[in-house]
Copies of this chain bind each other. A is one copy, B any other.
Amino acid sequence: MANAMTVKATLQDGMCFDAETGSGHHLLLDAAAHNGGEDKGPRPMEMLLVALATCAGMDILSILRKKRQRITSYEVHVHGERTEEHPKAFVDITVEHIVTGHAIQPQAVERAIELTEERYCGASAMLGKAAKLTHIFRVLEAHKSQ
């Protein structure tokens, strides 16, 4: 299938895994000390939030660039709340987009977020079936020198 993706995770030691993605990149994942790990890399569940932040981020960026918005910096902050009990899945996730630039139009950002959520972002589509996703945004004016 043309759109298949693959990952191979290999146990290193303790709870630490080396994950190799189909695109050829490696990353280490590990548990915290209180879960038997050594914190050599991020937690597996954090990767769901990384996927969401950057999948949505790239889509929003593409749309805003097509709309000729002059972005000088862009941050995506994700906060996910999990159940106390196993399986400790996220139940509520807030994604805050902080877009800085020159005369950025808030309506353009709002529309880009809508299109991303409703149509383009695969991570939003998947995680949105399991948790309540909320996107919020702030638009900041860049200093003249930026």
Copies of this chain, count: 2
Contact A50 B79, beta carbon cutoff 8 Å: no
A69 to chain B, nearest CB (A): 13
The listed residue (B15, B53, B127) touching A17 by CB distance below 8 A is B53
- Taking a contact as CB atoms under 8 Å apart, the answer to whether A124 and B87 are in contact is yes
- On chain B, the residues within 8 Å of A2 by CB distance are 84
- A73: which B residues are within 8 A, CB to CB? 10-11
**Other A-B pairs, 16, CB within 8 Å; known A15-B61, A87-B120:** A3-B82, A5-B82, A7-B49, A9-B54, A9-B77, A21-B43, A27-B27, A27-B50, A29-B50, A44-B53, A47-B48, A48-B48, A126-B127, A126-B130, A126-B131, A129-B130
